[in-house]
Structure 1
Amino acid sequence: MRALMPTPLVYRRYGGSLQVDLSSFEALVEAIHIPETQWMATACPVDGLQCDPRFLSFMDADKNGRIRVAEVRDAVKHTAKLLQSRKGADARSEVLELDALSPEGAKLKAAALRILGVLKATDTARISLEQVRASDPVLRTAGINGDGIVAPEFLPEKVRGLASRIIAAFPEVKNRAGQAGIDSATLQRFRDARTALLAHTGQKAAVFVWGEQSLARAQRIREVKPLLDAYFLQCRLVAAQPEAASSLKLAAGRVEGVLGDTAALEKAATSLPIAPADPAGVLTWSKLYRGPAFETLEAFRKDVAAPVAGDAEKLTDAAWRDLSAKADAVLAWQATFDASPVKGMLDELPSVADADLEAIEAASKADLALKEELDAVTELERLILYQRWLLTFANNFVSMPDLYHAQKRALFERGTLILGGRKYTLAVLAQPRAPHAALTSQGTTCILYVNVTPKDGGPGYEVAVPVTRGRSANLEVGKRGIFHDVDGKEFDATVTQVIRQPVSLWEAMTMPFQRIGAFISSKVESFATAGDKVFESKLEQSYVQTTALATTATTAPPPAPAAAPAQTGGAAGIVAAGGIAFAAVGSALAFIVGQVKSLTLVDVISAAISIAAIVMLPAGLFGWLKLRKRNLALLLEGSGWALNDRLKLTSELASLVTRKPGLPKGARVDSTDPLRSTVQGLDTDEEEERTSLGKKLLVALVIALAVLWQVRVPIVRYACGHGWLGAESCSALLPSEAPAATPAPASPPPPAAP
């Protein structure tokens, strides 16, 4: 059973999430025992975290590219076991005080002292991460690797040449410094190979029965072996069954069939035996057929068979089998010799002293004896990295307070985006973008996907940036800005995708009007485009008809006068159609004006307010619900994080993530427009400008008077009702309506003329 906690854990609320406070390493040691459900994250990817890559490599124990709860717990326990003082871990220091090591860290302390000695450091009470990493090349350069593989230059001078030749004879092995060297295993292989080769060469005289020419003759025998083996087998067949001799000859029909065909004739000759089969098993060289192998066999007789067998006229079956067996023995011996890795050292093998081999082996064992100590150097680096980064990592995994702090950066943050006059301080890696966007589109947060590229044109990366304040209307694909990473480096930034959601309550309420305006604009544009096409087609049709009439008039006699048909095309048709359209538009305007005249100003304002309320209130309510549901969990989950809780986007966090910096302190605004004075000083046509301005004012005045005339009655009534005008003025401006006069009966039409 685990001991009671010396100090109780403290939980704090950050943006609505209850998170354990990890202000010290002692608190972290206790916090790793809380249930996993109370951790903010249960897994995260290694990619995208802004910390030492070597630290992440140590944390990712199974090397699967992800860090999980069990791996975090093991790292904390490992660090707590080796550190009896946690001051360095609390300070997140890269310098390890050797007195802070517990008794379990004695090996690490010995390794630290050795490193400090190699580096000739004056302060031996502490060691830094930089010193540990600087010691690695120094130790490697000194030939100290701890793997038992010694490079020749670090061996005694007497045996360096021998070691180099042994290394060249066997597959290369390299030490931790990347140098080719020799170890005990290679040395034992050399001993075994040397013994075997020396014993093998002692058998050479018994096998090479033909002296220096044994190998050459054996190779010649191997060359003709298929031919002679087949011949003596045919001899045995004929001896057992004499009538088989006729079957070893070509049939007459086959010979006649290939006459004139050189290729077929050569193929047929190849199937013949090299000579007539002799039941006695004797090859008479003078009876060789002049087939494809004749020249080869004749040369073999002169160079090998006659000198070795002592008979230039014939070769018996027994003599051939004896030659073949001796040749096989020679070739087998040679194959074994060629397979020996130390055959190139044959001349010096008998003179290699065992003392030299023992000196090489002693150097290898001495280096291997340092393995445990040098492995402790790696563990020392691990411990210093854990002391420096473990508490920081836990505050971005077990808890996430750094996300809610203006002066701190969470480990998963990539930098700050400056775009459209605003500063977006939160950006996470989003690679690949497609699955990340598919997940974040299910939320209610406006997300920008931005391609970040170096200024030198090198490879870049994509980040996801939440938009939490302001407006999203001016954020479009292709919009450019700049990006500052966490190290302060500046990059070019281009928006590649927008997950559009309302950013503020006002934007949510006005978004329907924006959509209506966009819909109307698109329809008007489509109508205008369609009208242009119709107008152009009418003009084209009129032009064709006019051209056809002109051609007919010049080539044919004038027709008899007749009643003019109704025109359905040409210029007259266009004019008629335009008149009808104008009349329709005028009627519609007249109807609208008539309806407006019947309304008072209060009615118009009330109707406008009612329409706006009908549209804006539901949109505002729905937008308010969306804004309340915003959280940043999907942003991280799209990057591979596994989270237990939402990262609720409160108004405070929204203000922290997206800002519009104000003017510097003490700055003032000068309202003078220098452009106006600049333009006034230019040599321009002032009269034309004044005339143009006068025309604009005149048009605006006419429009205003027309509008006021249409609504004059409600305005006067409103003024009279509030006593702003006297009774006489009201009577003059609002005369009583006289009854409509009865129209006189229409006079009958005059009689028609006879």
Structure 2
Amino acid sequence: MPQGEQALATIQSQHKWRFFRSGGFDQVALDCAADLQHLHELDPKLWTVLNCPTTGLEFDHRTAALLDSDGDGQIRVPEILAAVRWCCERLQDAELLFQAPGLPLAAIAEQDAEGLNLKAAARKVLDIAGKTPADPLQVEDFADMTLLFSPHHFNGDGVVVSELTTDPELIQLIAEIKQTQGGVLDRSGAEGINSESLEAFYQQATAVVDWHAAGGSADPLFCPLGEKTAEAVVAFEAVKAKVDDFFVRCQLAAFDHRASDALNPAVTLYEVLANKAISSTDPEVAALPLAAVAAGAPLPLEGGMNPAWTSAMTDFKQKVVEPLLGADGKQNISHLTLQQWQHICQQLESWRLWQLAKPDCSVHQLDAERLKAIVSGDGKAGLEALITQDLAASVFADNLDAVEKLVRYQRDLVTLLRNFVSLSDFYQSKHKAIFQAGTLFLDQRSCELVLKVSDMARHATMAPFSGCYLVYCTCERQGEAPLQIVAALTGGDVDELMVPGRNGVFYDREGRDWRAMVTKVVVQPVSIGQAFWSPYKRVAAFIEAQLQKFAASRDKDIEAKTTSGVTSAAAAPAAPASAPTVVAGFDIAKFAGIFAAMGLAVGAIGTALAAVVSGLFSLLWWQIPLVILGLLLLISGPSMLMAFLTLRRRNLGPLLDANGWAVNTRAKINVPFGAALTGLARLPAGAKRSLADPFAEKKRPWGSLVVLLLVLIAAGVFWWFRLN
């Protein structure tokens, strides 16, 4: 043996493991603290499961998330070992993990700084919850984290709320940052700011202040109309594209006189407009040029203008043209030349470029003077100091998370181990396993092996390898999202039970009832007894189907002939007296032939039965039961053999693998255990039962007479063979 394996064997020999046999394989028993302390020594090949998902389980999702340290949605062996090791280190005695939920303060080990911090945080939680140091911590004490943090105290999350300061300037600044950047949720439940929102606010505020400074120049070249420049630019922008269009058309007409007619609207366009009511707001009118196009023509500002643009051009004239081109600002200007238009564009260009450079941010909500005061003040330094103080107070917050984790592990970790390292919760029937979603009641039976299904396609591919009779259901409950489940039927008669569309009731682990509708069935043998009767049931079903087909076909044939005969009789002339005897399509000769054939068939069957009976009675009395038993085995043997082989390989693994588990063994579901997983309807012990049924079918003697007749025939045949 290699040196490493020898060392491993030496270490493992220091702890005596206990195993129990269930499900066809050996499972480790986890019953004491020593088992947990040495769990890392147990060969992973002896673990029942190697990983399981964090969702779809009847297990606390918060605890599962804490165990999933890498956040990949799977709990693996190293994460289990790390959790067990940490609990053994943080507890005075790991036996507490096997006890009732609750973490006493004295149970926390304080041999190092981490332990001291954990104990201090746990003591504070007890104080906030109104408990004494003698009371154990429960998971419910951490249900509302906002109760464990006060907005008036630093809590280590780096979020500053207004309650942390009495400075009115900082309080106002926090409110303004939340107004423009949005609030950040603090551990106390209040909204505040953090370093990211603070930095974003000051960057935007600085950019806006600089932008306002660039536009606040008194230079006439920048603000040619002073305070009215902004209003003038708005009027200018409203008509700029249309004025540019007019002067470009005029330039093209000057370039080539032939272009004038084409650049002006065609007469046909006016003809179209003439045939309907015209409004100055019509898009067709607005699309026309501002005025008649001609080489070097000025733009009229009063008469001869497109009516759709009269209002905008009047506003442009009053706010832009006259103030910029009139000598005293009051001069009436009736036309605008190309040179004048270019001069106006040049004068307003600086202002327009400044407007295009306006920062796109939310701090424009604040007044420019207030922003200037914020940027030049020391509020940022004050808030940064508060954030630094809050981050420095993270000791309690960090240790609070660790205390919560320890309390949850104390309650839940052993439960997970008994569904991961072993499947003792499933096989020992003390508790339901974490993968059992509830109980399905269907057709006078209860199914305990019910799993949630997250991926129907994957599950339908893997699950049939379990060898179980499976019923897939869609469960619905008012106010809840639909739930997909699969139930394994491991007992009872299921020959004519499950068909899509049947309804049942599903009770989840919380006791809530759901309407369950069967959507799919995977047929597998349930028991050897069912397999024994299966061939006879199939033969009976086949005979019944054939009789129904024969009866239906004969009924249809007679109906067709009768209808045809009646129709022919009504349409045809009277038949001569010598015509063959036909009554309403009924052929007597054919009917006689049918009876003759039936007689031959009955005779052949009788001969065959006589041969069988003669051969049977030629045997000794003790040989007759053996022949009958052999005949039964010949008929039922193949079905029973196939059922035996299927039931022998029936196991839980594929059902869990289909849900994302990595099962490390063949977890068998044998017949006795399967019978325990499916409960059948039975009368209570001591119940009285009345057999008087007022609606029972009346007994008729025909069955007894047929049996008596068969006995007499058999006796007669036996007597005849004895005489001969």
* TM-score (ref. length: structure 1): 0.76
- Within-5 A mapping of 1:284-363: 300=316, 303-309=319-325, 311=327, 324-334=345-355, 341=363, 344-348=366-370, 354=377, 359-363=382-386
Separation in 2, partners of 1:489, 1:443: 28
CA contact (8 A) 1:143 1:151 kept: no
Tell me the distance in 2 between the aligned counterparts of 1:260 and 1:629. Answer: 89
How far apart are the structure 1 equivalents of 2:34 and 2:68? 23
* AA in 2 matched with 1:409: K
Is residue 438–residue 506 contact of structure 2 (8 Å, CA) maintained in 1? yes
CA distance in 2, matches of 1:259, 1:54: 78
Of 620, 626, 648, the residue aligned with 2:640 is 620
> What's the CA shift for 1:532?
0.9
Task: Please give the alpha-carbon distance, in whole angstroms, between the structure 2 residues aligned to 1:482 and 1:359.
Answer: 63
1:183 aligns with 2:194: yes
Q: Whole-Å Cα distance in 2 between the matches of residues 173 and 374 of structure 1?
A: 17
Residue of structure 1 equivalent to 2:471:
448
Where does residue 170 of structure 1 map in the other structure? 181
- Contact 2:301-2:313 within 8 A present in 1 as well: no
Shift of residue 512 of structure 1?
1.3
Decide which moves more: 196-205 or 588-597. 196-205
Q: Which aligned pairs between 1:384-403 and structure 2 lie closer than 5 A?
A: 384-403=407-426
Change (3 A) 1:223 1:538: closer
| 2:157 paired residue among 141, 147, 150 | 147
Q: Mapping of 1:427-442 within 5 angstroms?
A: 427-433=450-456, 435-442=458-465
Of residues 313-322 and 296-305 in structure 1, the stretch that sits farther from structure 2 once superposed is 313-322
Structure 1 residue aligned with 2:59: 51
Deviation at 1:194, TM superposition (A): 5.4
Q: Does 1:507 align with 2:530?
A: yes
Which range moves more in the overlay, 301-310 or 613-622?
301-310
What pairs with 1:6-85 in structure 2 (closer than 5 Å)?
Answer: 6-83=14-91, 85=93
Are 1:100 and 2:108 counterparts? yes
Q: Of residues 455, 460, 466 in structure 1, which corresponds to 2:488? A: 466
In structure 2, what is the Cα distance between the partners aligned to 1:418 and 1:254?
85
Match for residue 666 of structure 2?
646
Letter in 1 for 2:605: I
Inter-CA distance 173–335: structure 2 relative to 1 (3 Å threshold): farther
Residue 711 in structure 1 maps to residue 718 in structure 2: no
Residues 482 and 122 (structure 1), Cα distance of their counterparts in 2 relative to 1, 3 Å cut = same
Q: 1:57 to 1:255 in 2, by over 3 A?
A: closer
Q: Which secondary structure state, in structure 1, belongs to the residue aligned with residue 51 of structure 2?
A: strand
Residue 347 of structure 1 deviates from its aligned partner by: 4.0
The counterpart of 1:544, out of the listed 548, 555, 567, is 567
Query: 1:453 touches 1:461 (CA, 8 Å); kept in 2?
Result: yes
Distance 1:264 1:32, change over 3 A: farther
Partner amino acid, structure 2, of 1:180: E
Q: 1 CA distance for matches of 2:179 and 2:325?
A: 44
Match of 1:584 among 576, 594, 597: 597
* Matched residues, number: 682
- Return closer, same or farther for 1:451/1:245 CA change in 2, 3 Å cut-off: closer
Indicate how the Cα distance of structure 1 residues 245 and 649 shifts in structure 2: closer, same or farther if over 3 A, else same. closer
- Which amino acid is the alignment partner of residue 165 of structure 1? E
On the 8 A contact 1:509/1:616 being kept in 2, the answer is: yes
Moved more, 381-390 or 497-506: 497-506
Contact 2:490–2:678 (CA<8 Å) still a contact in 1? yes
The whole-number CA distance in structure 1 between the counterparts of 2:184 and 2:230 is: 35
Secondary structure of the corresponding residue to residue 20 of structure 2: strand
Structure 1: which amino acid aligns with 2:368? L
- Native 8 Å contact 1:464 1:635 kept in 2: no
**Letter of the 1:470 counterpart:** G
Quick one: structure 1 residues 579 and 356, their matched pair in 2 at CA, closer, same or farther if it must change by over 3 Å? Answer: same
Matched, 1:631 2:647: no
Check the 8 A contact 1:92/1:391 in 2, yes or no.
Answer: no
- Offset of residue 404 of structure 1: 1.1
Aligned partner of 1:328: which letter?
E
- Structure 2 unpaired stretches of 5+: 274-284
How far off is 1:489 after superposition? Answer: 4.1
Match of 2:396 among 367, 373, 396: 373
- The answer as to whether partners of 2:58 and 2:437 remain within 8 angstroms in 1 is yes
Partner of 2:146: 136
**Whole-angstrom distance in 1 between the partners of 2:315 and 2:505:** 86
Q: CA deviation at 1:52?
A: 1.0
Q: Which moved more, 1:477-486 or 1:532-541?
A: 477-486
Question: What is the CA-CA distance between 1:273 and the residue it aligns to?
Answer: 9.3
When residues 22 and 586 of structure 1 are mapped into structure 2, their CA distance, relative to the original with a 3 A threshold, is: same
> For residues 46-67 of structure 1, what are the alpha-carbon distances to aligned partners after superposition, in whole Å with 9 as ceiling and x for unaligned?
3331121101122233444333
List runs of 5+ in structure 1 lacking aligned partners.
238-243, 680-688, 722-733, 738-754
1:516 aligned partner, one-letter code: V
Q: Give the 3-state SS of the residue equivalent to 2:587 in structure 1.
A: helix
**Cα distance change of structure 1 residues 211 and 579 upon mapping to structure 2, 3 Å threshold:** same
Match of 1:743 in 2: none
Instruction: Encode CA deviations 1:518-574: one digit per residue, 9 max, x unaligned.
Output: 11111111111111111112212221232233xx24xxxx97x8xx3556x544743
CA contact (8 A) 2:291 2:300 kept: no
In 1, distance between residues paired with 2:261 and 2:610?
Answer: 122
Matched, 1:416 2:439: yes
Shifted more, 619-628 versus 404-413: the winner is 619-628
Matches within 5 A, 1:584-603: 584-597=597-610, 599-600=613-614, 602=617
For 1:382, the aligned partner's letter is K
**Offset, 1:497:** 3.8
Code of the residue aligned with 2:532 in structure 1: it is M
1:234/1:501 CA distance change after superposition, 3 Å = closer
Shift of 1:245: 7.6
